[in-house]
Amino acid sequence: MFSLAWKNIIRRLGGSLMTALIAFIAVFVLATSLAVVASLENGLRLSRERLGADIMVLPAGASGNASEVLFCAEPVNVYLPADVERTVAETAGVEQATPQFFTQTVNQSCCSVIGVTRVVGIDMETDFIVGPWLVGGALEGGALPPDGIILGAAAPPIEGGQASILGSVFHCVGTLEPTGSSVDETIFMDVNAARTIAAESPYLESVWLNVDPFDAISCVMVKVKEGAQPSAVAAAIIEQVPGAAAVCTSDLIASVTSQLVVLESMTLAFLAAIVLLAALALAGRFSSLVSSRMGELGLLRTMGVGRLKVALSFVVEVGVVTMAAAAAATACACLASSAIIGQLHTSFDLPGALLAPSAYGWVVCAALLFAVLLSLVALVQPMIALMRQDPQETLAKGGL
Amino acid sequence: MEPLLELSDVVKEFSSRPPVRPLDGLSMVVPPSTMIAVTGVSGKGKSTLLNVMGGLLRPEAGSVRYRKIDLTQATAAQIDDIHRRGIGFVFQTPYLFQALTAYENLELALRASGEKVVRDRIFEMLEKLGLSERAEHLPSALSAGQKRRLVLGRALLSHHDVLLADEPTNDLDAEWSERVFELLRGFCATEGRSVVLVTHDRSYAAQADKVYLLEGGKLREEVTL
């Protein structure tokens, strides 16, 4: 019987592909949606847990890009004087303050870096954003050397542990855990090293006409004291630092959360529609298969093959096709989801964190379980028809 | 000798408007090693008779006994078992498994009847039916006559006690009709098997051991010369 089922699959390829296509689309949509939503939620969760900063102090002209800076690693080449850091650190309610210096986006055209990434200078003495997420807990030797770089969790890999960035050679001294924020896509280096390469960068020449790179910072990340209200501290910072904007990261996260709620609701609605359509389409497909095969199914019965075995051969046939399509759809969904996550991440300033293999495992299991349930639901009506109307009898009547 | 099949006062009615009663108190005995032909005009119930004899249709009244088992009272499992080894069919429509080659169609018949698949036996049958060169072809690549012969081969290959053949020479030319008849004769000559064939061709029917005319829901035996 299994041989008959298999030959029906491969020798009635058009029909099998039709069945497979319906299952593929349904499972692909489900698995992709699951992976994307899980990734966005994961990113948001990591952002909440690992962001570290309660307030971002940016030049007033760059405050509109706070989400991009926080979640998308988009460098903003607008700078504040370096002494702003001290002013911010001395503001009431501030526990810690650390400066960051954005250089530029680098890629293969200027550097030995595969892909596109952002280079940011940090001050390891005051840093509380990067250090806590170092894989292994600390840097080798404890300090960030002038030619050292730290790679974010989603930064491009560096061959041989060293990279040429804007003409200077740097060595990788550490990597970071995923954080769900722009930290993941960033290469970090010592702030002065970053200033040096930025000053020599032909791409930033125009920026330095009015600004001294060695007396500039891009932002100050602030952690407020226990019990202090970030919004009140932010207001105090704005008062203390003319020309600066202080953005509460909790506001950004709240905004992203509300975007995610809308996105998830829409996704759920689409999913429900797709699932319903897929179930109907598959049920129609299976019913039509049973009708067109009634003669053959009846023939099996007249050859003494039991009703259950006949039904089983049909279930095996459609089950193999559906599950093969589901497996292919799940694999494609896992591949496609990272591209979709990336697109959502950059287009809508949403946090994104690649899912751990175990999370993909859950997505795969859920998608395959869905395929099984979908097939079972779609098989109900055809099986009832098959059991109610004995094909053996149909065959006999057909012969009248 | 104990009959292989025995029908007693069988009534079969279809609830159309007005109701049709193709079998009306019909009785018949199929002894071993016998070829029986049933003739009659079209639409008078010859195929219905075969389907009732084979346990595919349940009659409204009467009994159909295969080796003491009443098919009208038998369980589905008993009927399945009888279809595996006891009663085989050649339907008027040449049903074949469209995804299986000619060879595989015969192979499946052997598997279904629980017999050992012997490649040489299958090829021998294909040879007898002039289909050896078509062994690897799917039914869609066969002519109507070739399909008819393949269907017959499938039935002959399994060792059923009784073969119920509905117009087995449809789509066949005179030469193949004759050869098919010989094959059916050979089937009857082995191990006490019998064939009941339905045909509208009286000259063909006349070669059987017994010829019945189905008329008014009953069988009337005709004298063969």
Inspect the interface and report whether the beta carbons of A304 and B84 lie closer than 8 Å.
yes
Binning pLDDT at 50, 70 and 90, where does residue A46 land? confident
Q: How far is CA A25 from the centre of its chain?
A: 21
Binning pLDDT at 50, 70 and 90, where does residue A65 land? low
Inspect the interface and report whether the beta carbons of B93 and A399 lie closer than 8 Å.
yes
Which two three-digit tokens encode residue B189? Answer: 């000559």
3-state secondary structure A133-159: HECCCCCCCCCCCCCEEEECCCCCCCH
A2–chain B Cβ distance below 8 A for any pair: no
What's the pLDDT at A18?
92
What's the pLDDT at A353?
56
Instruction: Find, in chain A, the residue whose alpha carbon is nearest to that of B43.
Output: A400
Which of A303, A305, A393 has the most B C-beta neighbours within 10 Å, making it the best mutation to test the interface with B? A303
Output the DSSP codes for A37-57: HHHHHHHHHHHHHH---SEEE
For chain B, domain boundaries: 5-222
pLDDT tens-digit map of A220-256: 989 889 888 888 999 999 888 888 888 888 777 777 7
A4–chain B Cβ distance below 8 A for any pair: yes
What's the pLDDT at A203?
79
Of A7, A301, A398, the CB nearest to B93: A398
Task: Return the amino acid letter for A274.
Answer: I
- The CATH number of B5-222 is 3.40.50.300
Which of A292, A297, A302 has the most B C-beta neighbours within 10 Å, making it the best mutation to test the interface with B? A302
Inspect the interface and report whether the beta carbons of B56 and A7 lie closer than 8 Å.
no
Binning pLDDT at 50, 70 and 90, where does residue A157 land? confident
Contacting residues of A for B109, CB less than 8 Å apart: 303
Inspect the interface and report whether the beta carbons of A304 and B82 lie closer than 8 Å.
yes
Q: How many C-beta atoms lie closer than 10 Å to residue A340's C-beta?
A: 16
What's the pLDDT at B96?
92
Inspect the interface and report whether the beta carbons of B166 and A399 lie closer than 8 Å.
yes
Rounded mean pLDDT, A92-100: 91
Q: What is the mean pLDDT of chain A?
A: 81
Inspect the interface and report whether the beta carbons of B100 and A4 lie closer than 8 Å.
yes
Q: What is the dihedral of CA A279, A282, A283, A285, to 10 degrees?
A: 160
A399–chain B Cβ distance below 8 A for any pair: yes
Inspect the interface and report whether the beta carbons of A295 and B76 lie closer than 8 Å.
no
Binning pLDDT at 50, 70 and 90, where does residue A70 land? low
Rounded mean pLDDT, A44-71: 70
pLDDT tens-digit map of B34-77: 999 999 888 888 889 999 999 988 899 999 999 889 999 999 88
| pLDDT at A159 exceeding the cut of 70 | yes
Min Cα–Cα distance to chain A from B90, Å: 10
Inspect the interface and report whether the beta carbons of A298 and B95 lie closer than 8 Å.
yes
| pLDDT at A73 exceeding the cut of 60 | no
Inspect the interface and report whether the beta carbons of B80 and A395 lie closer than 8 Å.
no
Min Cα–Cα distance to chain A from B196, Å: 16
Using a CB–CB cut-off of 8 Å, the residues of B that contact A are: 47-48, 50-51, 54, 56-57, 76-77, 80-85, 89, 91-93, 95-100, 104, 108-109, 112-113, 138, 158, 166
Of A8, A302, A305, the CB nearest to B56: A302
- Cβ within 8 Å of B, A 12-41: 12
Rounded mean pLDDT, A52-59: 84
Contacting residues of B for A309, CB less than 8 Å apart: none
ipTM, two decimals:
0.90
Say how many CB pairs under 8 Å bridge A and B.
74
Contacting residues of A for B99, CB less than 8 Å apart: 4, 7-8, 10-12
pLDDT tens-digit map of A254-264: 777 777 788 78
Q: At what angle do helices B144-157 and B174-188 cross, to 10 degrees?
A: 10
Give whichever of A271-275, A279-283, B7-11 has the largest mean pLDDT.
B7-11
Binning pLDDT at 50, 70 and 90, where does residue A399 land? very low
Which of B80, B101, B104 has the most A C-beta neighbours within 10 Å, making it the best mutation to test the interface with A? B80
Give which of A88, A87, A57, A80 is closest to A70, Cα–Cα. Answer: A57
Inspect the interface and report whether the beta carbons of A400 and B47 lie closer than 8 Å.
yes
Q: How far is CA A84 from the centre of its chain?
A: 35
Contacting residues of A for B91, CB less than 8 Å apart: 302, 395, 399
Cβ contact A29:A274 at 8 Å: yes
Rounded mean pLDDT, A33-47: 79
Inspect the interface and report whether the beta carbons of B109 and A303 lie closer than 8 Å.
yes
Inspect the interface and report whether the beta carbons of A295 and B95 lie closer than 8 Å.
yes
| pLDDT at B9 exceeding the cut of 80 | yes
Inspect the interface and report whether the beta carbons of A303 and B92 lie closer than 8 Å.
no
- Order across the sheet with B20-30: list the strands: B20-30, B5-14, B61-66, B69-70
Contacting residues of A for B77, CB less than 8 Å apart: 306
Give which of A336, A101, A54 is closest to A214, Cα–Cα. Answer: A101
| pLDDT at A85 exceeding the cut of 50 | yes
Output the DSSP codes for chain B: ---SEEEEEEEEEE--SS-EEEEEEEEEEE-TT-EEEEE--TTSSHHHHHHHHTTSS--SEEEEEETTEETTT--HHHHHHHHHHTEEEE-SS----TTS-HHHHHHHHHHHTT----HHHHHHHHHHTT-GGGTT--GGGS-HHHHHHHHHHHHHHS--SEEEEESTTTT--HHHHHHHHHHHHHHHTSTT-EEEEE-S-HHHHTTSSEEEEEETTEEEEE---
pLDDT tens-digit map of B10-42: 999 888 778 888 899 999 999 999 999 999 888
Min Cα–Cα distance to chain B from A25, Å: 26
A394–chain B Cβ distance below 8 A for any pair: no
Inspect the interface and report whether the beta carbons of A304 and B112 lie closer than 8 Å.
yes
pLDDT tens-digit map of B197-211: 998 888 888 888 999
| pLDDT at B225 exceeding the cut of 60 | no
